[in-house]
Chain A
Amino acid sequence: MADTTQSGPMLAADGSPLKRSLSRTLRRQKLRALLLIAPLLIFVLVTFIIPIVSMLFRSVENQIVSHTLPQTVEALQEWDPNSGEPPDEAVYQALFFDMFKAAEAKRHTQVGNRLNYEQPGLSSMFRGTGRSLDDMGEEFEDALVDIDPSFKTSEFWFELLSGEGADSFLKDRRAKLAAMAGESMRGDIGFAPSAKALELLPATTEAYTDFAIWTAIVEEDVVAEERPWEAVYAGLGVDLRSAEVVQQIASYDGPGAAALKAAVANIDQLPQESFRDMFAESDEDWLDTEGWRTMALYSPDYTTGYFLNSVDLQKTIEGVEARPETQQIYIKLFIRTLYMSLIITGACILLGYPVAWILANLPLRTANVLMILVLLPFWTSLLVRTSAWKVLLQQQGVINEILVWLGFVDDANRLIIMNNATGTIIAMTHILLPFMILPLYSVMKTIPPTYLRAAKSLGATNWTAFWRVYFPQSVPGIGAGSILVFILSIGYYITPEIVGGTDGVFISNRIAYHISSSLNWGLAAALGTILLLVVLALYWCYDRIVGIDNVKLGG
Chain B
Amino acid sequence: MKLTTTLMASTALVVAAGSAFADDHAKMADSMTVVSWGGAYQKSQQNAYTIPYAEKHDGLEVIWDESSAEAVAKLRAMDEAGSVTWDVVDVVAADALRLCDEGLAIEIDPEKDLAAAPDGTSAEEDFGELLVGDCFIPQIVYSTTFGYRTDMVPEGADAPSQICDVFDLEKYPGKRALEKRPINNVEWALLCDGVAKEDVYDVLATEEGQQQALDKLATIKDEVIWWSAGADTPQLLADGEVFMGSTYNGRLFAAIEEQKQPIGMMWDAQVFDLDGWIIPANLPEDRLKRAMDFVKFATDTQRLADQAKYISYGPARASSAPLVGQHAELGIDMAPHMPTDPNNAANTFLYNYEFWADYRDDIDAKFQAWLAQ
Contacts and interface: CB of A to CB of B under 8 A. Distances in A.
A503 B372 contact: yes
A519 B362 contact: no
A108 to B, nearest CB: 9
Interface in A228-276: none
A502 B372 CA distance: 6
B103 A516 contact: no
Contacts of B214: 326
A106 B103 contact: yes
Interface stretch (A28-36, A118-126, A476-484): A118-126
A515 B363 CA distance: 17
A112 interface: yes
Interface stretch (B23-31, B68-76, B186-194, B324-332): B68-76
Interface stretch (A83-91, A327-335, A456-464): A327-335
Given A113-B102, A123-B101, A127-B101, A518 B361 contact: yes
Interface string B333-370: 00000000000000000000010011111111110111
B154 to A, nearest CB: 15
Given A110-B101, A124-B358, A515 B73 contact: yes
B19 interface: no
Given A120-B362, A394-B241, A502 B371 contact: yes
B11 to A, nearest CB: 29
B37 to A, nearest CB: 14
Give the interface size class of chain B. Answer: 35 or more
B179 to A, nearest CB: 12
A122 to B, nearest CB: 8
A123 B226 contact: no
Give the interface size class of chain A. Answer: 35 or more
Contact of A109 (B73, B101, B360): B101
A120 B361 contact: yes
Contact of B228 (A105, A333, A497, A520): A497
B220 to A, nearest CB: 13
Contacts of A105: 103
B39 to A, nearest CB: 14
B240 interface: yes
A395 B241 contact: yes
A104 B220 CA distance: 48
Interface string A496-509: 01100111000000
Interface in B126-178: none
Nearest to A332: B372
Contact of B225 (A122, A419, A520): A419
Interface string A303-333: 0000000000000000000000011110011
A5 B240 CA distance: 100
Q: Is the interface of B mostly helix, strand, loop or mixed?
A: helix
A515 B69 CA distance: 12
A116 B358 contact: yes
Contacts of A326: 211, 214, 366, 369-370
A174 interface: no
B98 interface: yes
A396 interface: yes
A124 B70 CA distance: 23
Contacts of B102: 109-110, 113, 519
A333 B103 CA distance: 33
B239 interface: yes
A117 B368 CA distance: 15
B263 to A, nearest CB: 15
Contacts of A101: none
Nearest to A397: B239
Nearest to B354: A124
A37 B70 CA distance: 37
A510 interface: yes
A124 B100 CA distance: 13
B83 to A, nearest CB: 15
Given A116-B357, A518-B360, A519-B76, 5 more contacts: A117-B361, A329-B368, A329-B372, A515-B73, A519-B73
Interface of A: 105-107, 109-110, 112-113, 116-117, 120-124, 127, 326-329, 332-333, 394-397, 419, 497-498, 501-503, 510, 513, 515-520
